[in-house]
Amino acid sequence: MHSAVKTPVFLVLSVFSIIATACSQGNPEIRSSSWQVYRDQQADGSFVERLSLFVFFEDSDGEADFSSLTLFHDETGLQWTVPAQEAQARLRWKDRWVGSNRLLGPGGLSFPTGRYTLSLTDLAGNESLSNFDLAPPDFPERAPMSFRIEGDKWIMEKNPDSLLFSRFYLFLYDSADVLLYSWRIPDTAAKTTVEGRVASLKSLSSKAETVRCYVENSGSTAGVLLTPLKIR
């Protein structure tokens, strides 16, 4: 994440759709943006690169006056558009951020580095622009950690080359793969191996079906998400 917020950028609290009932009169204004490149492990053990991108904007017509968020790579002209019906929303304190944590690189490859332009459009077509620079993420050759379940225990082990990745989390999902709960694993600075009870994870959410281990770097600009494991 490019802003100083402790919550991982893809902790999505809700998915919303917007039905336009009137034309907007005010202009939107992007106040801040946050982004993170992360590697998402697939069922076969391979990784795909994704971008999590969210913006906080203000509009005199209210937060529902949102049509789309478009990301442009200035050098190549590549673009990604998140329409309102596919946008995700999350809360940071009292502020509502919108965007997506599922953007894929071109052809399933890495996102090109360099300058990007954000365009947020309201229901009347009014636009607000913002920019950020994406530097090449420094990912290790292998995942910074391993995660497994043995009987009634979960076990997370850090790899020796995980030094740049220091914030470890467990994400709980329901049967529809909707994120229910995020928990930061304690004592990871002092320990190579951390373990706990699966029952403790179940107690965090009665609807949790799977758990995924996630880690991000100290700058919150890069992360790694491991494959889901069943807990029920």
Where in the sequence of the chain do the CATH 2.60.40 domains occur? Answer: 14-134, 145-230
Is the domain defined by 145-230 classed in CATH 2.60.40? yes
Report the alpha-carbon distance of residue 221 to residue 51 in Å, rounded. 10
Specify the higher pLDDT residue, 94 or 155.
Answer: 155
Query: Which class for 16: exposed (0-12), middle (13-18), buried (19 or more C-beta within 10 A)?
Result: middle
**What average pLDDT score do residues 70-78 get?**
98
Res. 227: pLDDT tops 90: yes
pLDDT reported for residue 189 = 86
Question: What six digits make up the tokens of 112?
Answer: 């090109």
Res. 19: pLDDT tops 90: no
Residue 208 in contact with residue 198, Cβ under 8 Å?
A: no
In one-letter notation, the amino acid at residue 183 is W
**What average pLDDT score do residues 130-135 get?**
96
Question: Domain 14-134 carries which CATH code?
Answer: 2.60.40
Residue 136 in contact with residue 220, Cβ under 8 Å?
A: no
pLDDT reported for residue 62 = 85
**What average pLDDT score do residues 107-134 get?**
96
Report the alpha-carbon distance of residue 172 to residue 184 in Å, rounded. 12
Query: Which residue shows structure tokens 């076990």?
Result: 155
Question: In this predicted model, what pLDDT tens digit does every residue of 196-226 receive, in sequence order?
Answer: 999 999 999 999 999 999 999 988 999 999 9
